[in-house]
Amino acid sequence: MSTATAPEHADIVEAARALEARYGTPWSTPLPAWNETLDTLLAHRSVRNYADRPLPAGTLETLIAAAQSASTSSNLQTWSVVAVENPARKARLAELAGGQSHVREAPLFLVWLADLARLEAAGARSSASVEGLHYIETLFVGVIDAALAAQNAVVALESLGMSGVYIGGIRNQPEQVAAELGLPPRVLPVFGLCVGYPDETQPAQVKPRLPQAVVLHREQYDAPSQVAEIAQYDEVMGGFQTTQGLSAAGWTSRSLARWRSRESLHGRDRLRDALNALGFELR
């Protein structure tokens, strides 16, 4: 593990470049330190085009070791992951996720699961009561555990020169995904993750994020000061969209389109019914 040291000049140049790409605006806050891990984190981009290059043996095990190193609530480890490499299964999952061809094309597709079945089964073996598993809190723990684990895997794979993209579309039809993966009751597919080497002929760009002043609050939540900063970000995103060949709609209007109606959730408006069908009581 590296320790905090004043950054070298080359690090400062690299850091400033990374931060300006991340926000699409100049960065002015002095930094305490910089390192290779921060480079990896800041350089993240979602990649949907992969090189025709297999993953080296041991890659999956390395990613899972990183994932398992993330925090987990009370060490309950209420998550699992299914690694899918079979082309036919990847193709079926690609369709279930809304026809996303990169799910089929990635050499490895990981489906991250909130897994309450493992401890439930252990309880059954020892005739223990598992009343707590029926509460929405316990499902939240599983979803959060899965997300922390998956993000560690993403950092690990990007540190190894690979890329990926999360697939929230795995929640479009959770019961069908559960059937495809042979999931027992009380296991929820939370999201997918495509993994592969990036196709360097179609490089993905770092997407600018909201200004820090919008997401970072000091001591208490500050709503009023977000308004002007969001307007500025709409300008930044408009410029970014233009470089991507998209109309310069900005952030606000494109984001609001996702929430406009029940239909704009693309079937995920029925997630509560799907959770019930998968055995979650949501008490």
* Residue list 120-179, contact with a copy of itself (CB under 8 A): 121-123, 125-126, 128-133, 135-138, 140-141, 143-144, 147-148, 150-152, 154-156, 158-162, 165-166, 168, 171
CB under 8 Å to 165, separation ≥6 — which residues?
46, 47, 48, 102, 193, 194
Q: How many residues form the binding site for a copy of itself (CB under 8 A)?
A: 136
CB-based contact 97:103 (threshold 8 Å): yes
Per CB under 8 A, 246 contacts a copy of itself: no
What is the nearest approach in angstroms of a copy of itself to the Cβ of residue 239?
A: 15
Return the residues of window 14-43 that contact a copy of itself according to CB under 8 A: 19, 22-23, 29-33, 35-43
Q: Which of 49, 82, 105, 279 binds a copy of itself (CB under 8 A)?
A: 82
Q: Which of 9, 223, 243, 247 binds a copy of itself (CB under 8 A)?
A: 223
The span from the CA of 55 to the CA of 90, in Å, is 16
The span from the CA of 223 to the CA of 276, in Å, is 35
Contacts 24+ apart (CB under 8 A), 241-244: 243/205, 244/205
Q: Which of 16, 51, 91, 214 binds a copy of itself (CB under 8 A)?
A: 214
Q: Which of 220, 243, 245, 247 binds a copy of itself (CB under 8 A)?
A: 220
Per CB under 8 A, 229 contacts a copy of itself: no
Nearer to a copy of itself, 136 or 277 (CB): 136
CB-based contact 193:165 (threshold 8 Å): yes
Residue 193 dihedral angles phi and psi, to the nearest 5°: -150, 115
Give the containing element (helix H, strand E) for 112. Answer: strand 108-115
Nearer to a copy of itself, 103 or 190 (CB): 190
